[in-house]
A and B are shown apart, each in its own frame.
Chain A
Amino acid sequence: QKEVEQNSGPLSVPEGAIASLNCTYSDRGSQSFFWYRQYSGKSPELIMFIYSNGDKEDGRFTAQLNKASQYVSLLIRDSQPSDSATYLCAFNPSGGYNKLIFGAGTRLAVHP
C-alpha cells in the first residue's frame, strides 16, 4: 500500500526559529508532492507543491525533494505563532494524478 510517513510531533520551536518538517513516501514512481497546512477543525490549505529534485522557495517556505531517498521536507523560516498548525505531506501515487495520499501530519507549535 502506498503510504506517507510523518513524525506526528508536536514539533515545538521558538518564534523566529526555523521549523523543519519531514516526510517519506513509499511509492518510488510518485512525481508530485504537496505540503498542506491544516488548522484545527479546518480544511487543508495548500502551502507548496514540488515536482523536481532540489529546493523550491516561496516566501518563508522552502520545500525540498529527494526522489532517490523518497524524502520531502518543508522548512519554515522566521516561524510565527500563526504557523502553529498541522502540516500534511501528500503525493500523487504513480500511474496518474487522480488523487492525493496524505500523511497523518506533523503538529507544529511555535511559542513566543
Chain B
Amino acid sequence: EPEVTQTPSHQVTQMGQEVILRCVPISNHLYFYWYRQILGQKVEFLVSFYNNEISEKSEIFDDQFSVERPDGSNFTLKIRSTKLEDSAMYFCASRASGGADGANVLTFGAGSRLTVL
C-alpha cells in the first residue's frame, strides 16, 4: 500500500538551530500538508501546499517556518530558528483529489519527533 515517508523519525536540536524535516508524499498525490502535535495535545494544521505554492497556512506557521518542494518527490518543512515550544511531532500528509469524494482523505506519514533543548 502506498505510504507517506518522513525523515528523520526523531531529531534533537539546540534552541536557535535550523531544522529541516523531509517528506516523500504518495506519488500521484497533488496536495501536501504539514501538521504538528505537541505531546498530549490535538493535531494542529500548519500549512497546505498545492501546485508549488502555499494554499493555506495557520497562525502557527509564522516567518520562522517555510515549506518547499525542491524536486518531484520531496516536500520539506524548514524551521529557521527553533524554540523550545517547537518541540512536537510533525506529521506530513498528502491527498489525491481536490473535491468532496473518497479521494479527499489525508494519508499521514509516521511523523518526525522534534525535540528542542
Contact = CB atoms under 8 A, between A and B. Distances in A.
Interface of A: 31-32, 34, 38, 42-46, 49, 51, 88, 90, 92, 96-105
Interface in B53-72: 55-56
A44 B4 CA distance: 12
Nearest to B107: A46
Contact of B43 (A46, A88, A92): A88
Nearest to B102: A49
Contacts, number: 53
B110 interface: yes
A100 B106 CA distance: 8
Contacts of A92: 100, 104
A101 B45 contact: yes
Interface residues of B, number: 24
B109 interface: yes
Contacts of A97: 98-100, 104
A34 B100 CA distance: 12
A52 B102 CA distance: 12
Contacts of B48: 98-99
Nearest to A99: B45
Given A42-B110, A44-B108, A98-B50, 6 more contacts: A32-B100, A32-B104, A49-B104, A92-B104, A99-B33, A102-B44
B104 A104 contact: no
B45 to A, nearest CB: 5
Contact of A102 (B43, B55, B107, B109): B43
Indicate the member of B42, B55, B100, B111 with the most A CB atoms within 10 Å. B42
Contacts of A45: 108
B91 interface: yes
Contact of B105 (A31, A38, A46, A101): A46
A81 to B, nearest CB: 23
Contacts of A34: 105
B85 to A, nearest CB: 18
